[in-house]
Amino acid sequence: MNAIVETRNGRLQGIAHADHLEFRGIPYALPPLGRLRLSAPQPIPAWEGILRADRFTDPCPQALNPLHGITRTSEDCLSLNIWAPPLNGHNKPVMVWIHGGGFSSGAGSQLMYHGKDLALHGDTIVITLNYRLGVFGFLHLDHLLSGTDNEFPPASNVGLRDIVVALKWVQENIEAFGGDPSQVTLFGESAGAMAITCLLTSPYAKGLFKRAILQSGGADFILTRDEADEIARHFLKSEPIAQVLGTASGSAALALLRNLSVETLLKGQQACQLLYYNRGPYLQQVIQRGMTLIPVIDGDFLPQAPLKALQEGVAKEIPLLISCTRDEWNLFLHAPEADGTTLAKRRYAHLDKSRLISLCERRLPGLGERAANLYEEMVPRWIDTPTALDIFSAFESDRLFRIPSIRIAEAQANFRKDVYMAHFDFDEGPMGACHGIDLPLVFGHTQTPMGTALIGNNTANQRLSEQVQGAWIAFARSGNPSSDAIGCWSPWLAGAPSTLIFSRTAHMGKDPVSLTRKLWEGIL
Active site residue ranges? 190, 328, 435
- Identify whether the C-beta of residue 211 lies closer than 8 Å to the C-beta of residue 186: yes
Q: What is the DSSP string of 332-379?
A: HHHS--TTS--HHHHH-TT--HHHHHHHHHHHSTT-HHHHHHHHHHHG
* Mode of pairing for the β-strands spanning 211-215 and 320-325: parallel
Q: Which residues contact 354 (CB under 8 A, 6 or more apart)?
A: none
DSSP strand pairing (211-215 vs 179-189) = parallel
- Count the neighbouring beta carbons within 10 Å of the beta carbon of residue 341: 11
Q: How many residues does the chain have?
A: 524
In a 10 Å sphere around its CB, with 0-12 CB exposed, 13-18 middle and 19+ buried, how is residue 338 labelled?
exposed
| DSSP 8-class letter at 9 | S
Per residue, the 3-state secondary structure of 53-90, as one string, reads CECCCCCCCCCCCHHHCCCCCCCCCCEEEEEECCCCCC
CA distance 485 to 471: 8
CA–CA separation, 260 and 241 (whole Å) = 9
* Cα angle, residue 394 at apex, residues 388 and 395 outer, rounded to 5°: 90
Q: Under DSSP, is residue 299 helix (H, G, I), strand (E, B) or coil? A: coil
**E runs forming strands in 401-468:** 419-424
Cα distances (Å, whole numbers) of residue 352 to 70, 358, 365, 441: 37, 10, 19, 35
